[in-house]
Structure 1
Amino acid sequence: MAEFVKSSFFAYRRELQAFLKRRLGDRQLAADLLQDVFVRVVERPRNSEEENARAYLYRVATNLAIDHERQSARRAQVFGGMEGAGATPDGHPAADRVLESRAQLERVYAALASLPPLTQEIFRLDRVESLTYRQVAARLDISESSVQKHLARALSHALRALEDPP
Structure 2
Amino acid sequence: MIGKDIRVLFLAHRAEIQAYLTRKLRNAELAAELTQEAFLRFAEQGQAGSAAILHDRSYLYRVAHNLAVDHLRSRGRERLEPLGSDMLDAIADDSPSPEQVAGGHSELARLRRILMELPERTRAVFVLTRIDLLTYHETAARLEISESSVQKHLARAVKHIMQRLRSDETEA
After TM superposition, the score normalised by the length of structure 1 is: 0.46
Larger Cα-atom Rg: 2
Which structure has more relative contact order (CA 8 Å, sep 6+)? It is: 1
TM-score between the two structures when normalised by the length of structure 2: 0.44
